[in-house]
Chains A and B, each alone.
Chain A
Amino acid sequence: MHMADALISPAVGGTLWAVSGGLITFCARKVKQTLRENLVPMMGVLGAFIFASQMINFTIPGTGSSGHIGGGLILAILLGPHAAFLVIASVLTVQAFFFADGGLLALGCNMFNMGFFPAFVAYPLIYRIIARGQPGSLRVGVATIAASVVGLQLGAFGVVLQTLVSGISELPFHTFVLMMLPIHLAIGAVEGLATVAVVSFIARARPEALPTSPLPGTATGIRPILAGLAIAAMVIGGAASWFASTHPDGLEWSIARVTGAESVEAPESGVHQRLAGLQEQTAFLPDYGFKQAEPGIATTIPAGPEPDPWPSINAGTSVSGIVGGVLTLILATLVGMALRTRTTSVVPHNL
């Protein structure tokens, strides 16, 4: 469920970065006010534990996707929601840095999907309301599983919305929802059971490690959280509906326009035209650009609903793109290798 940078647009990534950044600041302030003595090492070691457990992927058949424990609810129960959000955020940051699991600009999305929903929605609104009594009781168990499932469903829905609004993937909304939600229903149930097991184990073996409820700093937090949720929902929902209504068929085109790219042909035009001038003077065959190939393509295109799919793209520029792209790759590799030999000669082999 880790979003990659490759799938989201800067507008979505930036917005969620701002939201998650604000949440980190808010939670950091709240955690500072908490007087629990061993909170710092507990946050660190539980983070390491969640990190480790997220490595155990159970593959979901038929999707190529993999499921793992999110851990947000476990952390919220053991540490309180504010510390839990910070821990999840730190786990995601280290994963993005060290494993490229989830991108750096997608971090905001990931923190929101996997941290905000379990810690600030599922935990206070489901777990805390239903779960009364000793850990290990049936009621607490049901509350845990319910909260885990809801938290994960919301997170998965967040992934769907963010991907769709970004418009890089072409998956239609209902297909993507049908792909994501049932899978995460199963993962949520597994995670719920794991959470019940861990929490009841700690309650038996080390009851003093569990926070005595109400945890300082947790009882006050509901109102700002709800306000935050409402704002976030408005931002996301508003943005989504706006994009959806302006251009329902080609979401990606409207996004491309909004995010600063005027249109697809814009990046090609500047150098293109200038080089075309140069070309006419230097080239052996001035009109060489595979222009003749165009009617060939046109005959292969069945008359579809979109008459001008790509005004800028013709075989000529595309082949130029391929040639130039391959050359650039070679060039980049050569420059890098030259750099490597240079630095190797400069730096003594002291390691």
Chain B
Amino acid sequence: MGATDWIEIGRMDDLARLDTPMHRLDARAKIIVTLAFIGVVMSFPPHALSALTPFLFFPLVLIYGARIPMGPIVKKILLAMPFALAVGIFNPFLDRRPVLAIGPVTITGGWMSFTSILVRFLLTAGAALALVACTGMVRLASALGQLGVPRVFVVQLLFLHRYLFVVAQEGRNVLRSVTLRSSGTRSLNLGVYGSLTGNLLLRSMDRATRVYRAMMARGFDGEIRLVHPHQVRWIDGAFIAGWLAFFALGRTWNLAGGLGHWLTGVIP
């Protein structure tokens, strides 16, 4: 992750401000379904592959339904991938049992499970990102509070999210003043960067305290009040029930395998 991706947090919030059927769903419903989705995807045996593909419907429906551009989501998934990749890449070397032969090409269990890890990662990460992009931090935090997460933690999540922009803005100010004073010619040594970082920390701390005091002065009590408090509608219940039923179906039967088997049987 580079510094520019950090600013992209703001982009996720912009996306969350859109108004689509997916955005209008209750945030709690989306959280519950996303968690269930991740749980079900994780519960598949290590070598499952074709059985996982129907699960792509959920993140795709969220992403397309919420009119979220695919680019930023894919970029974030790729950036987050190295750890899963690093741990999974050993599977092909450790499990060399051949499990599938397509003509002369033999595919081993290790490659199957490695691909399975990547597919799982794509699914779970995609679903989590889609959830945020069509919900937004404030509604997400509010929903977490309603679902029983301690208020101190919910407030901490909100402050962290808010102060990311404070630190980013202060950082920009510090960098601008450095550029102005050095006329873009001098290269800075490590010591200067050290004191810059320290100053950035102090400036951010001061500004954060001022922001907090201003919030307290305006009556902030830790309660998140939304401008449009959400009314639970039947569609939220239908969203939960429908997806849970689909997950149960996809977990019990290999839908993709069945489809393929039927097709390869019908069309020789």
Residue ranges of A at the interface with B (Cβ–Cβ < 8 Å): 1-10, 13-14, 24-25, 27-29, 31-32, 38, 40-49, 51-52, 55, 57, 63-66, 86-87, 89-91, 93-94, 96-105, 163, 167-172, 175, 197-198, 201-202, 205-206, 209, 252, 256, 259-261, 263-264, 267-268, 270-272, 275-276, 278-279, 282-286, 288-289, 293, 296-297, 300-301, 304, 306, 309-310, 313, 315-329, 332-333, 335-337, 339-340, 343-344, 346-347, 350-351
Contacts and interface: CB of A to CB of B under 8 A. Distances in A.
B94 A10 contact: no
Contacts of B116: 168
Given A4-B124, A267-B253, A310 B153 contact: no
Nearest to A350: B19
Contact of B94 (A91, A171, A198): A171
Interface in B223-244: none
B144 to A, nearest CB: 9
A347 B19 contact: yes
Nearest to B253: A271
B192 interface: no
B61 A336 contact: yes
Nearest to A100: B125
A267 B251 contact: yes
A102 to B, nearest CB: 8
Contacts of B95: 170
A79 B49 CA distance: 45
B1 A57 contact: yes
Nearest to B89: A64
Nearest to A167: B46
B94 A261 contact: no
A169 B117 contact: yes
Contact of B1 (A1, A8, A55, A202): A55
Contact of A86 (B77, B152, B209): B152
Given A90-B153, A320-B50, 14 more contacts: A6-B88, A7-B88, A42-B208, A86-B153, A96-B128, A97-B129, A101-B80, A170-B91, A171-B90, A205-B202, A259-B43, A324-B258, A340-B64, A351-B17
A313 to B, nearest CB: 5
A278 B20 CA distance: 41
Contacts of A344: 67
Contacts of B118: 6
B27 interface: no
B175 interface: no
A328 B201 contact: no
B180 interface: no
Contact of B261 (A43, A104, A260, A279): A279
B176 interface: no
B10 to A, nearest CB: 10
Given A104-B35, A252-B46, A198 B125 contact: no
B76 A100 contact: yes
